[in-house]
């Protein structure tokens, strides 16, 4: 069983930056594809970024060039560096992990087995 705990959310002005962290425990972290998703009020959960166990990275078009996903396998942690934040980035951000050595459908929430509790990011305009 994998437990995921996000941190780093908060309130920031438009144009500012935040770094989210997601600490994992249980399982073999290096074997998991890790993803970040977000959900704004009244909207469906959407893909933000993924870093596969093969070290490939993927981003939603809406965050490409502004967000960077990275991972530190020694610390069992995945990060989401968010720059040039916009009001429309306001959402609860979730990290998620697929099962070991899986990286298919990284953009689909249903492909992830383990989820954190989420952290709120609010961008004021």
Backbone angles phi, psi at 24, to 5 degrees: -110, 145
Least confident stretch, 31-40, 51-60, 90-99, 100-109: 100-109
Instruction: For residue range 41-84, list pLDDT tens digits in order.
Output: 999 999 999 999 999 999 999 999 999 999 999 999 999 999 99
Kind and range of the H or E run holding 23: strand 18-25
What DSSP character marks residue 32?
S
Mean pLDDT across 12-39: 96
**Mean pLDDT taken over the chain:** 96
pLDDT in the model for residue 1:
86
């Amino acid at each position: 069983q994998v437990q995921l705990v996000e941190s780093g959310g908060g309130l920031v002005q438009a144009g500012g930056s935040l770094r989210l962290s997601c600490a994992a425990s249980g399982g073999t972290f290096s074997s998991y594809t890790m993803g970040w998703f977000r959900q704004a009020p009244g909207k469906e959960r959407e893909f933000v970024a993924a870093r596969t166990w093969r070290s490939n990275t993927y981003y939603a078009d809406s965050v490409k060039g502004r967000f960077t996903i990275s991972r530190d396998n020694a610390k069992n942690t995945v990060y989401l560096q968010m720059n040039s934040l916009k009001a429309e980035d306001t959402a609860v951000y979730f990290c998620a992990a697929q099962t070991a050595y899986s990286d298919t459908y990284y953009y689909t929430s249903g492909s992830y087995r383990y989820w954190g509790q989420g952290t709120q990011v609010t961008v004021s305009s």
